A = this chain, B = another copy of it.
Amino acid sequence: MSAPIFSLVQAALAGQRRAVARLLSLVENADARERDDARAALAQVYPHTGQAQMLGVTGAPGSGKSTLVAQIAAEYRRRGRTVGIVAVDPTSPFSGGALLGDRIRMQALSGDAGVFIRSMASRGSLGGLARNTSNVVKALDACGYQRLIIETVGVGQTETDIARTAHTTLVIQVPGMGDEIQTLKAGILEIADLLVVNKADHLGADHTVAALRAMLELSPRAAGWQPPILPTVATTGQGVAEVVDATERHVAYLRQSGQWERQARARAADELEALLREELWRRHLAQVGETRYAALIEQVATRQLDPYTAAEEILHT
């Protein structure tokens, strides 16, 4: 490893804010040119990870997600915890995607030395985005941020993947969004550890709570954690302390039930597998050679060869 990278990581682990920022930029681009440096940094960072509690927050645009994230962060701060926020949502004010009013609301947080906010570039491959988010989260964890909040839009597979990197997944609903309930049905309900009905002062909030409760009763979970339904008014902070209480309760449940350990093992396995798959592919391509590979693709594209036979051939030489 190059000496500057080693020193950079040391400075970041010691809590120097600028070094943290540079470290995050480095590991966020682990797929790009700085790949070797990024991997060296991540290897150095890794032993220091595993301390933070990670909360994934997901909800549709307009659900008040960013305001709720800011309120949860403020509540964590009041309880003496340092906080990292990773915004993967292109509509989030943390990512620079929202209205001026929202941004001003966020500035209270960004002036606090106990808070580190990072937005992820959402362009490019979404698979890459999930990987890079996980790297940024690891770096913040190692740098000592005790509570990490990962904000995503929460519709697609990537968001689900990102949510799964968190210990606790919070799904936001708001009154009067019929279609969203359908979306929930289709899968997001299964990933929710906490269900928050934000804008609980709006018309129809009781109905939304009741609908969610009915849905939970229709698809009961095996014994264990039952997701609470928590009403909030993020703009005023109402219900936010209860949400933070619930995140702490959920983490206590994870530890006590052994799920914390199982999740850690599953994450390690996923990460090792992804690294190995990538490396196996790189080596294979280098071994086969671009010319021969291009010729095979041409034969498959023109239907002279089917892909299954082509794969067999290439692997047996």
Contacts and interface: CB of A to CB of B under 8 A. Distances in A.
Interface of A: 39-40, 42-43, 46-47, 49-50, 60-62, 90-91, 122, 126-127, 153, 155-160, 178-179, 182-183, 186, 261, 264-265, 267-269, 271-273, 275-277, 279-281, 283-284, 296-298, 300-301, 303, 306-311, 314-315
A179 B310 contact: no
A93 to B, nearest CB: 14
Nearest to A267: B301
B39 A268 contact: no
A99 to B, nearest CB: 12
A300 B268 contact: yes
5 contacts: A50-B303, A90-B186, A265-B297, A269-B300, A277-B277
A298 B264 CA distance: 9
A307 B60 contact: no
Contacts of A311: 272, 275-276, 279
A272 B91 contact: no
A198 B56 CA distance: 35
Given A156-B158, A265-B298, A280-B280, 14 more contacts: A42-B306, A43-B309, A46-B308, A47-B303, A47-B306, A60-B179, A61-B183, A62-B179, A155-B156, A156-B160, A272-B307, A273-B281, A276-B315, A279-B315
Contacts of A60: 179
Contacts of A127: 157
